[in-house]
Amino acid sequence: MSSREPLFQRVAIIGLGLIGGSLASAIGKHGLAREVIAADQRQEDLLLGLSQGVIDTVAQTIAEAVQGADLVVLAVPVRATRKVLEEIRPHLAVDAILTDVGSTKTGFVKDVEAVFGEFLPCVIPGHPIAGSERSGIGAANSDLFKNHKVILTPSDNVSKIHLAKLQALWEACGATVLTMSVAYHDEVLAATSHLPHLIAFSLVDTLAGEDQNMDIFRYAAGGFRDFTRIAASDPVMWHDIFLSNRDAVLRVIDHFTHDLDQLRTAIADQDSAMLLRVFSRAKAAREHFSKMLSGQAYVTNNSEKQVTFRLQPGGSVTGDIRVPGDKSISHRSIMLGALAEGITEVKGFLEGEDSLATIQAFRDMGVAIEGPNDGFVRIHGVGMHGLQAPRGPIYLGNSGTGMRLFTGLLAAQPFESELTGDASLSTRPMDRVADPLRSMGAVIDTAKGGRPPLKIRGSQGKKLKGIHYDMPVASAQVKSCLLLAGLYAEGTTSVTEPAPTRDHTERMLTGFGYKVERDGPTASVSGGGKLTANAIDVPADISSAAFFLVAASIARGADLILRHVGMNPTRVGVINILQQMGGNIEVMAEREIGGEPVADLRVRSAELKGITIPEDQVPLAIDEFPALFIAAACATGRTVLTGAEELRVKESDRIQVMADGLATLGVETTVTDDGIVIEGGQTIKGGSVYSHHDHRIAMSFAVASLRATEEIEINGCDVVATSFPSFVELAQETGINISAEGPGAGTEQGVP
Ligand code: S3P
């Protein structure tokens, strides 16, 4: 026992089984009470507890245990609760806390009300989620609650002091304490604990009753053992739990049997699409189980991973690499593949968080998608009208492209939907798509200022109307959103852009057999057509290649080959700008693959010079400016960027955030409303910069290290996984001195 005053004087444990015994043992181990006294019907268990040092005192009766206790813990089977409470009531001290550890809470609350006539502020229902298929004091373990959750379901009039003390006790035993309402607890537990136990009991019982049961058990593979472990749990305890949580359990059983029945029908009818759809959705959900539990739907909650990049100055850049697949094309391949008739196979898919969120969104809408496995994805298209209503909000992580394109697509569906995203996405303007969609007849609610989440009412039988839209800003996302809505609209939808923007949507629609008219700056589609499945080979993303184009241009003695880079004319601004600055970039083996131009690039060190960036190049290099600012800082002379106010509403305000980071590294710049002026040739020192939840900011400052004089630390690099999960690995391979640290710096960032 520690020298500190313990939390409690006397803890009475009523019921010395697995949970009661483990709690008694943890209390003793951590010195949380002066005395632990226990009562149990089974004298031999009490004596065992005493001899093992789990408890200090054996009580002959419940009354004896409760008298003088400042904490009473009920750890009996839940159906015995009322009787035990009646024995406790006359002896419970006025300032004592009464809690329990049962798996259902509604029943406990009812019992307390029945016995005490009201729900006293000193009663706090509890439930440690830390059972085991083993039972009894013999299995007690003082570490049972370590790293487990304990749910408390206090009433509104709970004594706050009591609640804090009980919480402190569980935390001292190593648990994380959550609070929730009684009803919610019982619903959640019915689904996540009670139903699985019921199925395990039932399955083992069914198989045990089969004629060849010995053989079945003899040959049972690991799957059976894993799946049925919990069928060895205490029958009395589970009998009590099911009867006590009857209503919630019945609801979840009905839901499950309905879904099981659907699978039965699918097998009987040889409905492969249905089977694959359910299995792949379940597989993805299982893989992302812990993230789902943290409330982050199916994609990784990167913000919790806190990855930091650390770069030592003066690395080199040589070798022959292929950066991951194009993000824009990856998103679109899933979208069109899902809406097509037939099976679409995709190679070179970007397995980054953004495009994975798009896959998950379609799975949530009933599309069977296999993979991705090493960039290979197979999509079982459901046709233009085959999407199903998602069961909850669709979470798109960091992805602006995902959110804007989905808004167009979902506005035309008959069902309602909601789109949400992470902190960065939740600040980005969505009225640029919501407004024109509304003029097509869509009903969309946004949060304040036109920000996510978006609630999309759905067409409810009314078709959208085709419109002509003159885009005020050059945006491929807005254009693509309207074209996708236009596939479902009455008549023609046409979009005119003020400057050329990436045309992957138009190219891919054509590849899927959908007619897209192009007339100069205007693209149009007529509603009512269909898409036919197609094979897609995603080129390497020029936006990811850009970091290496700049890296090899500014590093000394660099010579790097980048393979299979997408060279769509609407994307090559970064090459044009670097070449104008004196960059040494050779374009080799130009070819066209699946409607998109591709080439290998060789880039070598160059003496860059500052330029005034032509405004017509801005939309063609819209994502590459953070990297280009680093090139400008290393050039001789002044670089001036204008006409780029769009940079302020990307994943971060890329003008300000880059200027701030450069200032930290000792490079002064002049920020303007629509651009920046950078005097090249200043010394890049070291320092600690922050990504502002923007992947391209993080990677740009990593590249700056090649010309820095001291170490650069970059915080918030978890988000790099949205577009370039293997960045660290590839950067190391070329000779950049980079390492990643923090809880999320595992293989996803490519760090061994
Ligand atoms: C994208 C379009 C661009 C770009 C984004 C991807 C796309 O955005 O910045 O990273 O895939 O359509 P805007 O169209 O809003 O400029």
Model confidence band, residue 296 (pLDDT cutoffs 50, 70, 90):
very low
Length of the chain measured in residues: 752
Domain 188-270, CATH: 1.10.3660.10
Instruction: Give me 409's structure tokens.
Output: 């697509």
- Residues assigned a catalytic role: 623
What atom in ligand 1 is closest to the CA of residue 432?
15
Query: pLDDT (tens digit, 9 = 90+) per residue, 371-391?
Result: 898 999 999 999 999 999 987
The pLDDT of residue 294 is above 80:
no
Q: Are 36 and 56 in contact (CB under 8 A)?
A: yes
Three-class SS state of 664? helix
Residue 508: C-alpha distances to residues 6, 334, 533, 595 (Å): 69, 11, 11, 7
**How far from each other are the two terminal CA atoms of the chain, in whole angstroms?**
43
Mutate to test the pocket of ligand 1, among 328, 405, 428, 697 (most ligand atoms within 8 A of CB): 328
CA–CA dist 141, 509 (Å, integer): 61
What CA–CA distance (Å, rounded) separates 551 from 561?
12
Which of 399, 477, 645 has the most ligand 1 atoms within 8 A of CB, as the residue to mutate?
477
Tell me what pLDDT residue 130 has: 83
Q: Which atom of ligand 1 approaches the CA of 479 most closely?
A: 14
Q: Is 401 in the pocket of ligand 1 (CB under 6 A)?
A: yes
Residue 524 tokens, joined: 């149009």
- Is residue 575 packed enough to be buried (19+ CB in 10 Å), middle (13-18) or exposed (0-12)? buried
Nearest-CA residue for ligand 1 atom 5 is: 401
Helix segments in 440-565, DSSP class H: 476-486, 504-511, 542-554
pLDDT above 80 for 508: yes
Write down the architecture of domain 8-180 according to CATH: 3-Layer(aba) Sandwich (3.40)
Return the beta strands (E) in 594-737 as ranges: 596-604, 638-641, 669-672, 675-679, 687-690, 712-715
Whether the pLDDT of residue 747 is over 50: the answer is no
What per-residue confidence (pLDDT) applies to 214? 66
Does the C-beta of 570 come closer than 6 Å to ligand 1? no
pLDDT at position 244, please?
Answer: 87
The string of pLDDT tens digits covering residues 143-190 is 999 989 999 999 999 999 999 999 999 999 999 999 999 999 999 899
Q: What is the pLDDT of residue 274?
A: 87
CA distance 679 to 301: 38
pLDDT of 280 reads 83
Question: Does 674 have pLDDT greater than 60?
Answer: yes
3-state secondary structure 540-582: ECHHHHHHHHHHHHHCCCCEEEEEEEECCCCCCHHHHHHHHCC
Sequence ranges of the chain with CATH classification 3.65.10.10: 308-320+539-749, 330-536
The verdict on the CB of residue 411 being under 6 Å from ligand 1 is: no
Tell me the CA distances in angstroms from 558 to 314, 368, 515, 586, 731, one per residue in order: 11, 45, 45, 13, 13
- In the numeric block, the tokens 């790293």 are attached to 147
> Averaged over 718-737, what is the pLDDT?
95
Q: Provide the pLDDT confidence category of residue 281 given band limits of 50, 70 and 90.
A: confident
27-32, Cβ contacts within 8 angstroms, sequence gap of 24 or more? 27/169, 27/173, 28/1, 28/53, 28/54, 28/55, 28/56, 28/142, 29/142, 30/2, 30/172, 30/173, 31/1, 31/2, 31/4, 31/6, 32/6, 32/7, 32/8, 32/169, 32/172, 32/173
pLDDT for 2 beyond 70:
no
| pLDDT number for residue 700 | 98
The pLDDT of residue 248 is 93
DSSP assignment letter at 130: -
pLDDT band at 305 (very low <50, low <70, confident <90, very high): low
- The residue-averaged pLDDT of 694-720 equals 97
Percent of the chain scored above 90 by pLDDT? Answer: 81
**Span 56-77, pLDDT tens digits:** 999 999 999 999 999 999 999 8
| Mean pLDDT over each residue of the chain, to the nearest integer | 92
Residue 564 CA to ligand 1 center (angstroms) comes to 21
Question: The domain at 330-536 falls in which architecture?
Answer: Alpha-beta prism (3.65)
Tell me where in the chain the CATH 1.10.3660.10 domain(s) lie.
Answer: 188-270
Q: Is the CB of 475 under 6 A from ligand 1?
A: yes
Alpha-carbon span 85 to 91, nearest angstrom: 10
Ligand 1 centre to CA of 478 (Å) is 9
CB distance 103 to ligand 1 below 6 Å:
no
Q: Determine contact, residues 139/131, Cβ cutoff 8 Å.
A: no
- Does the domain made of 308-320+539-749 have the CATH classification 3.65.10.10? yes
* Cβ of 142 less than 6 Å from ligand 1: no
User: Confidence class of residue 218 from pLDDT cuts 50, 70 and 90?
Assistant: low
Nearest-CA residue for ligand 1 atom 13 is: 475
> Whose C-alpha lies nearest to ligand 1, atom 9?
623
Nearest atom of ligand 1 to the alpha carbon of 475: 14
pLDDT at residue 220, as a whole number: 67
Residue 267 has pLDDT above 50, yes or no: yes
Asked if pLDDT for residue 288 goes beyond 70, the answer is no
Q: Is the pLDDT of residue 292 over 50?
A: no
Identify the pLDDT of residue 297: 39
Report angle CA 351, 352, 353 to the nearest 5 degrees. Answer: 125
Average pLDDT of span 605-623:
97
User: For residues 610 and 656, is the Cβ–Cβ distance under 8 A?
Assistant: no
Residue nearest to atom 11 of ligand 1 (CA): 328
* Per-range mean pLDDT, top range of 182-191, 456-465, 572-581: 572-581
Task: State the virtual CA torsion across 9, 14, 15, 21 in degrees, nearest 10.
Answer: -10
User: Residue 215 carries which side chain, given as an amino acid letter?
Assistant: D
**Is the per-residue pLDDT at 335 higher than 60?**
yes
Distance 295 CA to ligand 1 centre (A): 27
